[in-house]
Amino acid sequence: MRMKRTISIFPLPALLALLVLQSGCAIVMDRVTGKLAGNLSSAILNQEDPETVRDGAPAYLLLMDSMIEGNPESASALGSAANLYAAYGAVFVEDPERAKRLTRRGREYGLRAMCVVHEPACGWAGMDFASFDADLATLTADELPELYSFTVSSLAYTRANSDDWGVLAELPKVESALNRLYQLDSDYQSGAIHLYLGILNTIRPPALGGKPEVGREHFEKAIELSGGKDLSVKVEFARSYARLVYDRELHDSLLKDVIESDPVQPGLTLFNTLAQRQAETLLETADDYF
């Protein structure tokens, strides 16, 4: 199986400021964190130089670890850490083994976040699929942020370990979690759930259970919900779907559109810049692929 990596499908989470670690009151801490993290997240997502983010993010990984050491039952901190590790491991890490380690940490944090808000989730790791699926059905919109962090971090881990059949065997659980997110709020994070469902349905070729046409429908819906401004969706559409089904015309059309678009969009500039770089690389290697 060809290993497919993503460049910009995992939204960077809000990051925590160092001074927050010094607060002994969880309520005050969460209030301060919300404002500081919101400002910092906006600054990162609107950054036009990905190298600045790549070089600075490891410091925040350590800050998140320290934050959790001091407050291990904070669902918000655990969820943010899960998102950050998933984002960094999937977006910026080139070494496969390091990506596996970082996304594994992200998945662990995501599971712990769910465990805090939903006690049965503490046993999800060893739960059979039927029991897991039944438990997902009991979740409500109150657990949506934690379920999102768990699911995204699990998907990042699965993609980083797409050469491991033991990990791939857990895909049905990830898909079930995504479907539950879809049921709770299909438009959550501006269509991100559709993007993840598109990826999940194209990770495997049809002969191994993949559903590329279902994936295509989700990619198209994600483009619609983002108004076409999230260029990473089109790159992933080309990489995961067009290459899988060997549709050269669609592949090149999507990537040329990405390259010709203005990457500067509120909240999307960083990932759009990365998407354009990936689009150029994919076009350059298209002759060798098709």
Q: Which of 2-11, 47-56, 201-210, 261-270 has the lowest mean pLDDT?
A: 2-11
Alpha carbons 44 and 152: distance in angstroms, whole number: 19
Q: What is the DSSP letter of 48?
A: S
Would you state the pLDDT for residue 237? 95
Most confident listed range (133-142, 178-187, 269-278): 133-142
What are the structure tokens assigned to 171, written together?
């895909």
Q: Calculate mean pLDDT across residues 236-251.
A: 95
Which single residue is written with the structure tokens 């998907």?
Answer: 155
Nearest CA among 207, 182, 209 for reference residue 196: 182
Q: How confident is the model at residue 264 (pLDDT cuts 50, 70, 90)?
A: very high
Q: What is the mean pLDDT of the chain?
A: 82
Q: How confident is the model at residue 92 (pLDDT cuts 50, 70, 90)?
A: confident
Residue 216 has pLDDT above 90, yes or no: yes
CB 188 within 8 A of CB 144: yes
Alpha carbons 99 and 95: distance in angstroms, whole number: 6
Contacts of 79 (CB under 8 A, 6+ apart): 13, 109, 110, 113, 145, 146, 148, 149
Task: Label residue 189 left, alpha or beta by phi (over 0 means left) and psi (-120 to 50 means alpha).
Answer: left
Alpha carbons 180 and 275: distance in angstroms, whole number: 28
Residue 23 has pLDDT above 70, yes or no: no
Q: Calculate mean pLDDT across residues 43-48.
A: 74
Query: Helices 144-160 & 188-200, crossing angle to 10 degrees?
Result: 30
Residue 189 has pLDDT above 50, yes or no: yes
Residue 54 has pLDDT above 90, yes or no: no
Would you state the pLDDT for residue 59? 84
Alpha carbons 47 and 53: distance in angstroms, whole number: 8
Which single residue is written with the structure tokens 């438990």?
Answer: 135
What are the structure tokens assigned to 123, written together?
């046993």
Alpha carbons 88 and 54: distance in angstroms, whole number: 8
Residue 41 has pLDDT above 70, yes or no: no
For residue range 103-137, what is the model confidence (pLDDT) as tens digits?
999 999 999 999 999 999 999 998 999 999 999 99
Would you state the pLDDT for residue 261? 95
Q: What is the DSSP letter of 42?
A: H
Q: What is the DSSP letter of 123?
A: G
Q: How confident is the model at residue 11 (pLDDT cuts 50, 70, 90)?
A: very low
Q: Centre a 10 Å sphere on the Cβ of residue 127 and count the other Cβ atoms it contains.
A: 16
Alpha carbons 250 and 241: distance in angstroms, whole number: 9
Would you state the pLDDT for residue 42? 66
CB 233 within 8 A of CB 195: yes
Is the torsion defined by CA of 247, 250, 256, 262 positive or negative? negative
Return the amino acid letter for 52: T
Residue 13 has pLDDT above 50, yes or no: no
Would you state the pLDDT for residue 50? 82
Task: Pick the more confident residue, 209 or 254.
Answer: 254
